[in-house]
A = this chain, B = another copy of it.
Amino acid sequence: MNNAVILAGGQGKRMKSDIPKPMFKVLGEPMLEWVIKACESADLSSLCIVKGFMAEYIDEYLNGRYETVLQSERLGTGHAVMQAREFMEKNSGGNTLVLCGDAPFIDSDTIKKSLEMHINEDNSITVITAQIEHPHGYGRIVRNKDTNRLNSIVEEKDATEAQREIKEVNSGAYWFKTADLLEYLGELTQNNSQHEYYLTDSVFIAINKGRNVNAYISENENVVLGANDRKGLLELNTVARMAVIEKHLENGVEFTCTDGVVIGRDVKIEAGTEILAGTQLLGNTVIGKDCVIGPNCIIDDCVIEDGVQLNTVQAYKSQIDAGVKIGPWVHIRPGSHIKSGVKIGDFVEIKNSTIGEGTAVAHLTYVGDSDVGKKVNFGCGTVTVNYDGIVKSRCEIGDNCFIGCNTNLIAPVKLGKAVYTAAGTTITKDVPDYALAIDRGTVQIKEGYSLRKLKKRLEKA
């Protein structure tokens, strides 16, 4: 069986926050999660995460999902892998992939193809590399001129001028024969200026022993990218952000201006939908075809059917059916289901409610904890009074109801079919089908009232 050991013990001092570096986020997910998902997509399920700095963050995040080991002192990448010795010994007959938990763009294709080379060539070590335009700072891959196989990895500071021209660089990810890796780990030393155990040294050890060692060049040049500071992290986010947008462009999604557009990796969008500037699509959001989403929407974990138009909407954990038109400035809170043909206008909040087909909620309204029928019309200023300070209760509003402006519906309450409520009425008890509910006094007219006030007011203004 093949293993993966993910090194996630680093600190990231220049990030200036006390969380482990692999827990910093790219497109909203910890870099460690990117690495784990790449393994999972490559059908590697035997993972060991080496934690170190602020290990509790890693534990809390993983929540037991995978085996972890603690590197209590940080003495280099070799030392980190040593902590996983027991984990590897359980499966020493296979191969082990060592990955950096803070190099998020490793991908399953690279993992699979490099393993293929590793096995086909019967390599002891297969280094994953990439050809990049600006190799400065990376370890260069020196190949044998005759065999074209890996000869050595030379760090920037040790490289000759000729070697600095080499554009193939080390990603920090390697396939090892597990048994060989266990052997090499025992031979690593701290004989270097940093007094650290370097995993890279195992390459030299293997070559000295005459073992097969080679380098697999990934087609994805981003496999080498990591971040040491917030600026680098911003760059990773930008790379990831644009890659996701590009994928959707290829799928026929329309973008006319991508400024401020952030789309999570797991979001699905069908062709013909247009995403406008400033829009964030997050979580497991799924969007149908021919929608217009944006500008400035946040859609998180929602299902949006075909032909939906959302203008400056924030929607969370909800479903919006075909042909719905919402906005501008509408807040759809979790647990809502907006059925087809609904129109929701400005300054409306919907929370944990079902809004039936063809219903209209035009403006300045709060519908919370409610089951609303079809073709209901909500007057402006309607409030479902769902909270009495102690419990939350539901409102039930039948088909074809016509709710007057500034109506309060004190939950629990049920309006039957086609109920009318008069503007300004507070409904405290159920209303039967086809009835009007009204609570209104007599408007008194006090003539001449404003004559004296007016002068004062105009002086003031």
| Residue positions of A touching B, CB distance < 8 A | 15-17, 25-28, 229-231, 233-234, 237-238, 241, 246, 249-260, 262, 271-272, 277-278, 280, 295-296, 298, 311-312, 314, 328-329, 331, 345-347, 349, 358, 363-366, 375, 377, 379-381, 383, 385, 387, 389-391, 400, 402, 404-406, 408, 410, 418-420, 422-429, 431-432, 434-451, 453-454, 456-458, 460-461
Contact residue among B234, B241, B258, B446 (Cβ-Cβ distance under 8 Å from A438): B446
With a CB–CB cut-off of 8 A, which chain B residues contact A383? 364, 379-381, 405-406, 423
Partner of A449, one of B16, B28, B420, B450: B420
With contact pairs A234-B249, A329-B331 given, residues A443 and B451 touching in the complex (Cβ less than 8 Å) = no
Contact A280 B295 (CB under 8 A): yes
Count of chain copies = 3
Inter-subunit contact A16/B272 (CB<8 Å): yes
Complex contact A375–B408 (CB within 8 A): no
Judging by beta carbons under 8 Å apart, are B420 and A445 in contact? no
- With contacts A234-B255, A260-B277 known, what are 8 further pairs, Cβ within 8 A? A28-B256, A259-B260, A311-B314, A329-B347, A389-B420, A435-B446, A438-B446, A439-B444
Cβ-neighbour of A443 out of B277, B400, B425 (below 8 A):
B425
A366 and B380 contact, Cβ closer than 8 Å, known pairs A234-B258, A443-B425? yes
- Tell me whether B346 and A331 are in contact (CB under 8 A): yes
- Pick from B379, B439, B461: contact of A442, CB below 8 A: B439
Separation of A459 and B365 alpha carbons in the complex (Å): 26
Give, as a whole number of angstroms, the nearest-CB distance from A356 to chain B. 14
A262 engages B252 (CB within 8 Å): no
CB atoms of A385 and B405 under 8 A apart: yes
A430 to chain B, nearest CB (A): 9
- Bound-state CA distance A438–B447 (Å) is 11
Q: Which of B328, B424, B441, B451 contacts A434 (CB 8 A)?
A: B451
Q: Does B404 lie within 8 Å of A431, measured CB to CB?
A: no
With A234-B249, A385-B379, A406-B381 in contact, do A448 and B426 touch (Cβ < 8 Å)? no
